[in-house]
Amino acid sequence: MYFKEKTIWITGASSGIGKAVALKLSKENTNLILSDINEPGLVEVAEACKKNNCTTLIIPIDLSDEKSVQDAANLVLNKKLKIDCLYQFAGISQRSLLSETPLFIDRKIFEINFFGAVALAKAVLPEMIKNGGGQIAVTSSIVGKFGFPYRSSYSATKHALHGFFESLRAENKQHNIRVSIFIPGRVKTNISVNAITKNGKTHGKMDVGQDTGITAEKAAKIIFRGLKKEKKEILVGGKELIMIHIRRFLPRLFYFLSSRIKPL
């Protein structure tokens, strides 16, 4: 009953974990706002949600464009909708050596993963506070807990999300703002396929580790349970999550293992 009759805004809703979470929430008597840069994909997800008698609103958004984010927020807020939850799944990964990656690529990754997520949260937060509170969740990564080869800026954006949204939580406890951070490991989605390379092109192939990861549907179940419990961090994945604990308690072993990652 936690989600019943709540209005929930989901970014990255056209595919992967965002889509799986949207479909699961559509069975909970919710009202969903679905956002992504892929509008045709959103239409498909919205149609699937409607089969569960779920009210949906499609709001296309390009997180790399500040105006697009603000326009999307204005569209929602002008409809006088009470946003109970904002769950952000949209993002882009990376597959390139930092020494070979031009700065404009690093900036692009930050615009989407960090500044886009921050801009939308800032746009929604005042209304949430005005309405007596709400839940905000953002997607980090296992590499948001440690650096990792070929993910330098991607990892940095995820580290930055922890700092920002933990600060948001600390500043707004009295306003009943609950913040959760998703920390996925290996989930079988197209995130590696769509990852950006040093040339600004897409990686174009599924990583072996990604291909053997848990399904997006299983990830959605884990996230669903974590959100209901309002957990501050929600670990999503399989045995690879042990790397978080190795990094924390056995750093020398972590440094050894991370140095043995094979080149792309």
Share of the chain above pLDDT 90, in %: 95
Mean pLDDT of 115-138: 98
Q: Residue 209 has what pLDDT?
A: 87
State how far the Cα of 263 lies from the Cα of 95, in Å rounded to an integer.
Answer: 10
On whether residue 239 sits in a domain, the answer given is yes
Tell me if 87 is assigned to some domain: yes
pTM: 0.97
Q: Which helix (H) or strand (E) holds 153?
A: helix 152-171
User: What tokens were used for 93?
Assistant: 């990964």
Is 245 a domain residue?
yes
Tens-digit pLDDT profile for residues 178-198: 999 999 999 999 999 999 999
Question: Above 90 in pLDDT, residue 260?
Answer: no
pLDDT digits (tens, 9 = 90+) for 65-122: 999 999 999 999 999 989 999 999 999 999 999 999 999 999 999 999 999 999 999 9
Position 121 in a domain: yes
Catalytic site includes residue 154: yes
Whichever domain contains 192, its CATH number is 3.40.50.720
pLDDT band at 263 (very low <50, low <70, confident <90, very high): low
Structure confidence by residue, pLDDT tens digits, 47-57: 999 999 999 99
168 inside domain: yes
Residue 77 within a domain: yes
- The answer to whether residues 210 and 192 touch, using CB atoms and an 8 Å cutoff, is yes
pLDDT band at 264 (very low <50, low <70, confident <90, very high): low
Say which of 2, 87, 150, 154 is annotated catalytic. Answer: 154
Kindly state whether residue 264 falls inside one of the protein's structural domains. Answer: no
Dihedral sign of CA atoms 50, 55, 17, 1 in order = negative
Domain span at residue 254 reads 7-258
Q: For the chain, how many structural domains are there in total?
A: 1
Q: Is residue 22 part of a domain?
A: yes
**What count of other Cβ atoms lies within 10 Å of the Cβ of residue 247?**
18
